[in-house]
Structure 1
Amino acid sequence: MDTTLTLELKFRAADGKNKNLIIRNPTEGLTSAEIKPVMQKIIGLDAFAVKGTNPYSLIDSARYVKRTTTDLFNSEI
């Protein structure tokens, strides 16, 4: 069994579409007070603009996602 943890930062693009920025193996236990300023900084960088549209324009939400994978069998070829 393998468990992985990601942090999903959810934004809204200038065109109204939802965009996610996923961080693998994040520090656990971060609070909204710690995450929101970082998300605001990402918006301010405007480093991900595509055709003049920033896909990370507004903060929507953030969440941890824990995923457990259980192998049923492995081929021994």
Structure 2
Amino acid sequence: MNTTVTLELKFGTADGKTRSLSVKNPKSGLTAAELQPAMASIIGLNVFEVKGVNPYAAVNSARYVERTITDVITDAK
């Protein structure tokens, strides 16, 4: 069994949609008080643009996503 953890940061785009930024193997236990300023810093950089739209214009949400893979059959021949 293999489990991976990803931190998913969700932003509102300049055109009213939602865009995600995923971070693999994040520090565990991050709080909203720690993540909101970090996400605001990403927004403040204003270095991203997709088809003329800023994909990271507003803080939306953040969450940890755990994915567990359990092999049932391996190396079947």
TM-score interval, normalised by the smaller of the two chains? over 0.9
How much does 1:52 deviate? Answer: 3.2
Aligned equivalents of 1:12, 1:6: Cα separation in 2: 19
Instruction: Tell me the matched-pair count.
Output: 77
Gaps of 5+ in 1: none
| TM-score normalised by L of structure 1 | 0.93
Report how far residue 47 of structure 1 moved.
1.1
Q: Which residues in structure 2 correspond to 1:38-57 (within 5 Å)?
A: 38-57=38-57
Deviations 1:28-64 (A, max 9, x none): 0000000000000000111111243210001000000
Runs of 4+ off more than 3 Å: none
2:19 matched residue in structure 1: 19
CA distance in 1, matches of 2:50, 2:60: 20
| Length-normalised TM-score, structure 2 | 0.93
- How far, CA to CA, are the matches of 1:3 and 1:66 in structure 2? 7
* Structure 2: gaps of 5 or more residues: none
Aligned letter for 1:34?
Answer: E
Deviations 1:8-34 (A, max 9, x none): 000010111110000000000000000
1:46 partner letter: N
| Residue 7 of structure 1: aligned partner | 7
Quote the Cα distance in structure 2 between the aligned partners of 1:19 and 1:2.
27
